[in-house]
Amino acid sequence: MAVSARLLLLPGDGIGPEVIEETRRVLAWLGRHRGLDFRVEEDLIGGAAYERLGDPAPDATIAKALAADAVLFGAVGGPKWEKLAFDKKPERGLLRLRKDLELFANLRPALCFDALKDASTLKPEIVAGLDILIVRELTGGVYFGEPRGIETLGGGARRGVDTQVYTSGEIQRIARTAFELARLRGRRVASAEKSNVMHTGVLWREEVQMLHDAEFEDVALTHILADNCAMQLVRNPKQFDVIVTDNLFGDILSDEAAQLTGSIGMLPSASLGAKDTDGRRRALYEPIHGSAPDIAGRGIANPIACILSLAMCLRYSLGRAEDATLIERAVDRVLADGYRTADIMQDGMTKVGTSAMTDAVLEALEAA
Ligand code: NAD
């Protein structure tokens, strides 16, 4: 049955347009072979939007994002725009999207493909088969809490202030997301905070536990201090299924978990908002990597993180888990067949560029 989905592609800067272009080819394949009828639009964001329109987060782009079933985002940023005022910086484009789409849950899977288990800095047996999902609260906490700023004190001294603040509602909605996702996976949630030293940590622990007891007793819940969680991620990462945590700890723990799997060029992510009354969730999917200005324009970027972001979009926004699995298996096949972009190159493997890697994924999809 044809599924009609409205997708907005926002390629952005650096390698963003390169990896989005490859993902478009996978979209076209799905359209031809899997009855998916996408209405695909594309628009400007980040540095590219600033160059053309003087605004890294144009209203027209935001309006299209609000109307879309899902947004597929490349990356923004680059040295060219580093000295601009904060409200003109490319990153503002992503921040406005997160805010206006109310994307409060950031999903970061750390998956270790078998063929890449030797690429991790950890021993292969520690990471082989790894499949963790980190659910990070994205719109609250210390990155947004007031008061914040740098003030000048007497005698030329200065004081910097950031405020960690969470309400019970913010904690409950991210915890609910984590529990619901755990039901689609291994039914285990570890909630990470610092309840030993922070009031927000105490509140976090209590609220997560109360929600669990009221609605999610079928999911196993454990509480872990965030610093211990960081340590356990490198000691024995496979003990985790879903980790739910706040904005700051999630920022750090998800990067740490990503590194377990070898390359930043392999990992997708999703940011989800609240469900509408009709059950539709606002959502943005993007590779976790940035715009990689050091390799932009050379045709060597790894497109897999972006292609796997499309797979996440199929699973979480479009109800097409089967198609998502098809893409993930195709990526697995390509890696097992020895295809590698420069970032994941290993001895004895076949080095390919951005579009040749996508060719291989498409061939694997054909063969599936
Ligand atoms: P980065 O992720 O762009 O690059 C880090 C390193 O990984 C680089 O050496 C790069 O070449 C490599 N790399 C990244 N993606 C790759 C891929 N797909 N294939 C092969 N190699 C890849 O991070 P950075 O260098 O810290 O930041 C560069 C710019 O990107 C900055 O302007 C930063 O603000 C921006 N950034 C944007 C986002 C986003 O748009 N969501 C995220 C992170 C960084």
DSSP 197-265: T-HHHHHHHHHHHHHHHHH-TTSEEEEEEHHHHHHHHHH-GGG-SEEEE-HHHHHHHHHHHHHHTS-GG
Ligand 1 centre distance from Cα of residue 168 (Å) = 34
Ligand 1 contact via 250 beta carbon (within 6 Å): no
198-207 contacts, C-beta under 8 A, 24 or more apart: 198/164, 200/141, 200/164, 200/165, 200/166, 200/246, 203/166, 203/168, 203/171, 204/166, 204/171, 204/246, 207/168, 207/171, 207/172, 207/175
Asked if residue 110 lies in contact with residue 243, where contact means CB atoms within 8 angstroms, the answer is no
pTM listed for this prediction:
0.90
Ligand 1 contact via 97 beta carbon (within 6 Å): no
Strand partners, 93: none
Active site annotation includes 251: yes
Ligand 1 contact via 82 beta carbon (within 6 Å): no
- Testing ligand 1's pocket by substitution, the residue of 21, 22, 289 carrying the most ligand atoms inside 8 A of its CB is 289
DSSP state, 54?
Answer: S
Ligand 1 centre distance from Cα of residue 77 (Å) = 9
Ligand 1 contact via 78 beta carbon (within 6 Å): yes
Between CA 65 and CA 109 the distance in angstroms is: 23
Catalytic residue among 13, 43, 246, 251: 251
Ligand 1 centre distance from Cα of residue 217 (Å) = 40
Between CA 243 and CA 250 the distance in angstroms is: 9
Catalytic residue among 100, 162, 255, 332: 255
Each of the 368 residues of the chain gets a pLDDT tens digit; together they read 456 899 999 999 999 999 999 999 999 999 999 988 889 999 999 999 999 999 999 999 999 999 999 999 999 999 999 999 989 999 999 999 998 999 999 999 998 888 888 888 899 999 998 999 999 999 999 998 999 999 999 999 999 999 999 999 999 999 999 999 999 889 999 999 999 999 999 999 999 999 999 999 999 999 999 999 999 999 999 999 999 999 999 999 998 998 887 678 999 999 999 877 777 789 999 999 999 999 999 999 999 999 999 999 998 889 898 999 999 999 999 999 999 999 999 899 999 999 999 999 999 999 98
Query: What number does the ligand 1 atom closest to the CA of 295 have?
Result: 11
Active site annotation includes 227: yes
Asked if residue 134 lies in contact with residue 250, where contact means CB atoms within 8 angstroms, the answer is yes
Ligand 1 contact via 211 beta carbon (within 6 Å): no
- For residue 163, the number of C-alpha atoms closer than 13 Å in the C-beta half-sphere is 9
The encoded tokens of residue 360 equal 């291989």
Q: Which amino acid, 272?
A: L
Asked if residue 97 lies in contact with residue 73, where contact means CB atoms within 8 angstroms, the answer is yes
Ligand 1 centre distance from Cα of residue 297 (Å) = 14
Active site annotation includes 50: no
Q: Which helix (H) or strand (E) holds 4?
A: strand 3-12
DSSP state, 277?
Answer: T
234: Cβ–Cβ under 8 A, 6 or more apart, which residues? 122, 256, 260
Ligand 1 contact via 273 beta carbon (within 6 Å): no
The encoded tokens of residue 57 equal 């987060």
Q: What is the pLDDT of residue 160?
A: 97
Domains of the chain plus CATH, in order, are 1-104+273-368 (3.40.718.10), 112-261 (3.40.718.10)
The encoded tokens of residue 270 equal 């999703």
For residue 293, whether the previous peptide bond is cis, meaning omega lies within 30 degrees of 0, is no
Ligand 1 contact via 10 beta carbon (within 6 Å): no
144 φ/ψ angles, rounded to the nearest 5 degrees: -125, -20
Ligand 1 contact via 94 beta carbon (within 6 Å): yes
Q: What is the pLDDT of residue 141?
A: 96
Ligand 1 contact via 11 beta carbon (within 6 Å): no
83 φ/ψ angles, rounded to the nearest 5 degrees: -90, 0
Three-state DSSP state, 24: helix
Ligand 1 contact via 76 beta carbon (within 6 Å): yes
Catalytic residue among 227, 238, 332, 351: 227
Query: What number does the ligand 1 atom closest to the CA of 16 have?
Result: 40
Query: What number does the ligand 1 atom closest to the CA of 289 have?
Result: 2
- Testing ligand 1's pocket by substitution, the residue of 83, 91, 92, 264 carrying the most ligand atoms inside 8 A of its CB is 264
